[in-house]
Amino acid sequence: MNLTSRILIGMGAGLLVGALIQALGLPEDHFFSSFFTFGLIDAGGDIFITLLRMMVVPLVLVSLTCGAASLGATGKVGRLGGKSIGLYLLTTAIAVSLALTMGLIVEPGVSASDKGLEVVTYAAKEAPPFKDTLVNIFPSNPVAAMANGAMLQVIVFAVLLGIAISKAGEAGQRIRSVFDDLNEIFMQLITMILHIAPIGVFCLMVSLGATVGLSDIAKLITYFLTVAATLVLHMTVVYPLLLRFLAGLNPLTYLRKMREPILVAFSTASSGATLPVTLRTVEHRVGVSNNVASFAVPLGATINMDGTAIMQGVATVFIAQFFGVSLGPQELLVVVLTATMASVGTAAVPGVGLIMLAMVLDQVGLPVEGIGLIIGVDRLLDMMRTAVNVTGDGMVATTVAKSEGELDLEVFHEPDAGRVIAS
């Protein structure tokens, strides 16, 4: 049985066990809950996520240094960066626009107050000033950047290090072969971690099934379904169209190959934790060269959040409708711009999209407390939008690679290429 099927079985079984536990209705301090549900099972899920996270910094550093070293000072780094960032921003802007359109058509907030929905107090965190965001891209201490997992800083350091290696003659050659070897070894380590993915996913799904509040979802069902439908639309219509027209590739082949990162993203709700899996898949299963993948994928995991932007678009419309505020064309444009920017600033960990929503609401003068309305259903939506975020990262990496002649079409068309477990 291949890895995707194993993960799917882990997922289904986990949800079932979780739902049974919820149906039992045991109190949290019951021995079974504290030992099994919130003990062993929670630990299993945490260990899986921690192992994935363990790989992020070493992998990005080594893989990107290799990529930048082989591109060297050809000027290609700048072009790749420009293309990737341009496409990331474009897909996010399309995502928010789609979300706003859906929100305005479905009007999820209009009848929400009749369903007994109340504003919960929500203390918004302040978004950092723009200047700090810009300066903070550059690491004053690369070791600290790595220790803190400051991804953009690690990316900048790795690109500079790679370029320097390419210019350093023989010394550069020697170090480069060490980095190339390390890259191989780290990829192998991710393959090892992926073998336990079905168990990790099982544990994460038990926790979800045991704790998810269905009554919260019922109260917000229109909002929930609007976000979910827009996410599905973006993943199954927008990405395929872009892949077909910008890269001339078969979108189904791409989506089929991306199943594992999509499932891991869904289970962990963190595109950061999923990054090692995305990178491995994009390189070895989809066929994007290390040069492009090592650059575009970590950058995407950090700045590209189409799914998050979709949630923010629908949420803004929902909150405006709930409070009876109408959004004119100018406000809608502001939402598109700020949600796109917020997506750049959103950390790739669970729940941050909701924090950044405060920035969007602020810009159009909507009450930030509105976030309290939708917090109850955010967990499940977070999982879904993270799956979209990760699919978008891979899509842009693949499109950029195709345009640069850096996509191995043989790998792309070979169904078994780079499989963790052969089918």
Contacting residues toward ligand ASP, per CB under 6 A: 269-272, 305, 308, 346, 348-353, 382, 385-386, 389
Query: CA-CA distance, 179 to 292, in Å (whole number)?
Result: 16
Task: Pull the structure tokens for residue 95.
Answer: 């995502």
DSSP state of 60: H
**Smallest gap from residue 419 Cβ to ligand ASP (A):** 25
Whether residue 393 contacts residue 301, with contact meaning beta carbons closer than 8 Å, is answered with yes
**Smallest gap from residue 351 Cβ to ligand ASP (A):** 5
Which is nearer to ligand ASP, 66 or 361 (by Cβ)?
A: 361
Nearest to ligand ASP by Cβ — which residue? 353
Which is nearer to ligand ASP, 271 or 391 (by Cβ)?
A: 271
Segments in 243-376 forming alpha helices (H): 251-257, 259-268, 271-280, 290-303, 306-322, 329-345, 352-363, 371-374
Task: Pull the structure tokens for residue 99.
Answer: 């979300």
Whether residue 203 contacts residue 21, with contact meaning beta carbons closer than 8 Å, is answered with no
**Smallest gap from residue 269 Cβ to ligand ASP (A):** 5
Query: CA-CA distance, 203 to 54, in Å (whole number)?
Result: 19
Nearest to 310 by CA among 381, 379, 375: 381
**Smallest gap from residue 278 Cβ to ligand ASP (A):** 11
**Smallest gap from residue 56 Cβ to ligand ASP (A):** 12
Which is nearer to ligand ASP, 312 or 321 (by Cβ)?
A: 312
Query: CA-CA distance, 304 to 298, in Å (whole number)?
Result: 10
- Count other Cβ atoms within 10 Å, centred on residue 169: 9
Which is nearer to ligand ASP, 67 or 353 (by Cβ)?
A: 353
Strand partners, 394: none
Which is nearer to ligand ASP, 243 or 347 (by Cβ)?
A: 347
Cβ-proximal residues to 10 (8 Å cutoff; 6+ apart), any chain: 197, 198, 199, 200, 201, 202, 205
Which is nearer to ligand ASP, 9 or 355 (by Cβ)?
A: 355
Cβ-proximal residues to 400 (8 Å cutoff; 6+ apart), any chain: 80, 83, 84, 87, 292, 296, 406
Query: CA-CA distance, 33 to 74, in Å (whole number)?
Result: 58
Which is nearer to ligand ASP, 94 or 161 (by Cβ)?
A: 94
**Smallest gap from residue 1 Cβ to ligand ASP (A):** 28
**Smallest gap from residue 143 Cβ to ligand ASP (A):** 25
**Smallest gap from residue 24 Cβ to ligand ASP (A):** 29
Handedness of CA 67, 70, 73, 79 (dihedral sign): negative
Which is nearer to ligand ASP, 255 or 269 (by Cβ)?
A: 269
Which is nearer to ligand ASP, 3 or 349 (by Cβ)?
A: 349
Which is nearer to ligand ASP, 366 or 390 (by Cβ)?
A: 390
Whether residue 371 contacts residue 358, with contact meaning beta carbons closer than 8 Å, is answered with yes
Query: CA-CA distance, 299 to 137, in Å (whole number)?
Result: 12
- Cα separation of the two ends of the chain: 5
**Smallest gap from residue 122 Cβ to ligand ASP (A):** 15
**Smallest gap from residue 306 Cβ to ligand ASP (A):** 10
